[in-house]
Amino acid sequence: MKKNDEFYVPYIDGSLGSKTKKTLKRFTFIAIVVIVIGALIFSFAQKPFKNSTFELTSATKITGTYHENPYPMLRVEVADNTFKNILLLGFGKSSANPFLEKLHSEVKNLNGKTLNIEGNLIYYNGKTLIQITDDEKVTLKNKKTSLALQKELISKMTLQGEIIDPKCYFGVMKPGKGKIHRSCAVRCISGGIPPVLATTDNNNISQYYLLTDLKGNPINKDVLSYIGKPSEITGIVEKMEDWYIMKIDADDIKIISENSSIY
Amino acid sequence: MGLDYQLVLWNKHKKTYDKIIVLSMLLYIVLFAVITIAFNSETSIETLVIRAFGSLAIIMLHIILAIGPLSRLNSNFLPILYNRRHLGVSMFIAALIHGGFSMFQFHALGDVNPVYSVFTSNMDYGSLTNFPFQVLGFLALLILFIMASTSHDFFLANLSAKVWKRLHMMVYFAYALIIAHVFLGAFQQETSPFTIGIMIIGFLVVASLHLITAFKERKTDRVKTEEKEGWLTVCNISEIQEDRAKIFTVDNERVAIFKYDGKLSAIHNVCKHQGGPLGEGKIIDGCVTCPWHGYQYLPSNGQSPPPFTEKVTTYELKLDEETVYINPKAFEEGTEVKPCKI
């Protein structure tokens, strides 16, 4: 060890010698330079975040026709004869169902009924979702039943993409896709949030498919081990206005070796 | 040295040290936040907090790991080592904010307990690329918590220096877990060569400093010696500076041989407080003074002066002309041995 005449003893005043002080100043300077360089590198090197939105602190009231195909949605008229199907979600990593139970107990079949819902909007890339945090904020506006929503059969398709949880992907988390987010997506889908297949074509245009089993029922638990991994999925695709639905057999999902990416 | 336990025994140097730690941490967080908000404004506050505190904790851990070997190589760095535990606790706080936010964000408000979720939400333990990297971070945070919560002389005294030291050597295991956590997690998606590069450089610096120190100390431990009627040759007396020591290895134990007031005394090299190298210390007021925290021992009996109670083993020396010899048999801790007159 390199020794000098100076010997620092914490409880002896004046034991901090000039050579030691110089070393300490140099060390502090280098440590601060490392801190600054680290901050520059770690902040500038982040990939760009997408412009998705989660209105956590503001509530919005929406009115529309309730339907379950099979996941709870509200069909809202956003312009003359133009409709948007807003996916209903619960608080945290849960489905909207616990927040609809109260109304379900009062009205046996909610399908086709007009509801008022107040919650936090989530939106990105043409899709809108709403988080319900209080069952008192879900009220029946009209008992009259509207016509059932029409679904259009497209074809049997094989698509490559990643199963995501739409709540995080469309705004609550950034990034809401890929390996870092995988555990969260598993929790969300396990908690009842509908699984969605997100695909991106060569022109970087994304498309989204609500996944159900072959009978059109929720498929949450069966897809847990495939979430957040690039996959190839074959199923029957239907169009439900602004959403696609893909009916699949979870056993047919193939994990592909492509790298998972954030966006 | 202190007889009773206080949360922190403040002094001027500790206050300066802590101010530098707090200001540096603030500087990092503010810089990270301002740059991110200015150039990547679509970030979310949770992601910003997770990334800022996670990266800060890693940088701090590298600085902490460099302090030990730097102090072994150059005694001018010892004042940084003296208060290193404050730096360690500060790093743990940064890591806890990172881990706490991540656990809440990714695992809370779900259908199972968040801790259970950390271990079970991703079961690809057999895959390298899909490995549940959050488990590694959780285990590292647990180790850092144990270390931070026992970073006090109360635990040091009650656990014994040996156990405490072993516990705190787990920082290297935590470091390995953190490196794997980052490379199998964040770096799978955030693939900038700059962030990966800075981590590799950090690892190389820490590893090199430890290797250089280890090789240097190995030299001391491997000095060839001659045995003469049960006594081992140590060195020529001129090789020991006044009020300083020479470290000599006997039966795999390092011994500090001090020269002071025309006498020679030998005691075990390891301080009872935190295992500091007494042989790199100095005789002050007639006492061997540890270079790490100033703990003191009387050279003739290895006992801390009353009212303190620490004791180390002692050894017998003899001088034949100018050659110093040591009897390799250690005496019980605190045994009085007549100093060898020069």
The answer to whether A174 contacts B42, with C-beta atoms less than 8 Å apart, is yes
The answer to whether B76 contacts A4, with C-beta atoms less than 8 Å apart, is yes
Q: Which residues of chain A neighbour B73 with C-beta distances below 8 Å?
A: 1-2
Distance from CA of B312 to the nearest CA of A (A): 20
CATH top-level class of B227-341? mainly beta
CA distances from B137 to A191, B61, B114, B182 (A): 24, 14, 14, 8
B24 → closest Cβ in A1, A31, A91: A31
Which ranges in chain A belong to alpha helices (H)?
A: 18-44, 97-106, 166-167, 182-190
- Provide the β-strand partners of residue A121: A130
CA–CA distance, B72 with B212 (Å, rounded to integer): 10
Is the CB of residue B111 less than 8 Å away from at least one CB of chain A?
yes
The answer to whether A45 contacts B194, with C-beta atoms less than 8 Å apart, is yes
Q: Which residues of chain B neighbour A34 with C-beta distances below 8 Å?
A: 59, 62-63
Instruction: Provide the pLDDT for residue A263.
Output: 38
| Interface list for A 52-71 with B (CB within 8 A) | 52, 54
Question: How many beta-carbon pairs below 8 A join chains A and B?
Answer: 202
CA–CA distance, B47 with B197 (Å, rounded to integer): 22
| Annotated domain spans of chain B | 12-220, 227-341
The answer to whether A38 contacts B74, with C-beta atoms less than 8 Å apart, is no
Query: Does residue A175 have a cis peptide bond before it, meaning omega lies within 30 degrees of 0?
Result: yes
A10 → closest Cβ in B32, B77, B294: B294
The answer to whether A183 contacts B32, with C-beta atoms less than 8 Å apart, is no
Distance from CA of A29 to the nearest CA of B (A): 11
Q: Which of A49, A239, A258, A238 lies closest to A161, judged by CA?
A: A258
The answer to whether B195 contacts A184, with C-beta atoms less than 8 Å apart, is no
CA distances from A194 to A18, A93, A225 (A): 67, 11, 15
The answer to whether A27 contacts B80, with C-beta atoms less than 8 Å apart, is yes
Decide: B254 and B269 in contact? Cβ < 8 Å.
yes
Residue from B17, B75, B283 whose CB has the most chain A CBs within 10 Å, to mutate? B75
Same fold yes or no, A53-142 and A152-255 = yes
CA–CA distance, B277 with A249 (Å, rounded to integer): 67
The answer to ipTM > 0.90 is yes
Q: In this structure, what token pair is assigned to residue B22?
A: 């707090």
Is the CB of residue B90 less than 8 Å away from at least one CB of chain A?
no
DSSP symbols for B145-208: HHHHHT-SHHHHHHH-HHHHHHHHTTHHHHHHHHHHHHHHTHHHH---HHHHHHHHHHHHHHHH
Instruction: Provide the pLDDT for residue A259.
Output: 60
Residue from B46, B64, B65, B76 whose CB has the most chain A CBs within 10 Å, to mutate? B76
Is the CB of residue A33 less than 8 Å away from at least one CB of chain B?
no
Q: Which residues of chain B neighbour A173 with C-beta distances below 8 Å?
A: 44, 46-47, 105
Residue from A13, A187, A262 whose CB has the most chain B CBs within 10 Å, to mutate? A187
pLDDT tens for chain B, 342 residues long, are 555 555 556 677 888 999 999 999 999 999 999 999 999 999 999 999 999 999 999 999 999 999 999 998 998 998 998 889 899 999 999 999 999 999 999 999 999 999 999 999 999 999 888 899 999 999 999 999 999 999 887 887 788 778 888 899 999 999 999 999 999 999 988 999 999 999 999 999 999 999 999 998 887 777 777 777 789 999 999 999 999 999 999 888 999 999 999 999 999 999 988 889 999 999 999 999 999 989 999 999 999 998 898 999 999 999 988 999 999 999 999 999 999 988
Question: In angstroms, how far is the first alpha carbon of chain B from the final one?
Answer: 31
Decide: A72 and A95 in contact? Cβ < 8 Å.
yes
Residues of chain A with pLDDT under 70: 1-4, 148, 258-263
Decide: B175 and B205 in contact? Cβ < 8 Å.
no
Instruction: Provide the pLDDT for residue B273.
Output: 87
Residue from B27, B58, B106 whose CB has the most chain A CBs within 10 Å, to mutate? B106
The answer to whether B42 contacts A51, with C-beta atoms less than 8 Å apart, is yes
Question: In angstroms, how far is the first alpha carbon of chain A from the final one?
Answer: 52
Decide: A188 and A166 in contact? Cβ < 8 Å.
no
Distance from CA of A147 to the nearest CA of B (A): 35
Q: What share of chain A is helix, strand, coil (3-state, %, to 5)?
A: 25, 35, 40
Q: In this structure, what token pair is assigned to residue B95?
A: 């890591």
Q: Which long-range contacts (CB under 8 A, 24 or more apart) does A29-36 make?
A: A31/B24, A31/B63, A32/B24, A32/B27, A34/B59, A34/B62, A34/B63, A35/B24, A35/B27, A35/B28, A35/B59, A36/B27, A36/B28, A36/B31
The answer to whether A94 contacts B111, with C-beta atoms less than 8 Å apart, is yes
Q: SS3 of B232, please?
A: strand
| Annotated domain spans of chain A | 53-142, 152-255
Candidates 2.40.50, 2.60.120, 1.10.3470, 1.10.1060; CATH matching A152-255: 2.40.50
Is the CB of residue B63 less than 8 Å away from at least one CB of chain A?
yes
**Superfamily covering domain A53-142:** Nucleic acid-binding proteins (2.40.50.140)
Q: Which residue of A has its CA nearest to B122?
A: A183
The DSSP letter of residue B278 is G
CA–CA distance, A2 with A176 (Å, rounded to integer): 52
The answer to whether B106 contacts A183, with C-beta atoms less than 8 Å apart, is yes
- Report the run of H or E that residue B209 belongs to, with start and end: helix B193-221
Distance from CA of B37 to the nearest CA of A (A): 9
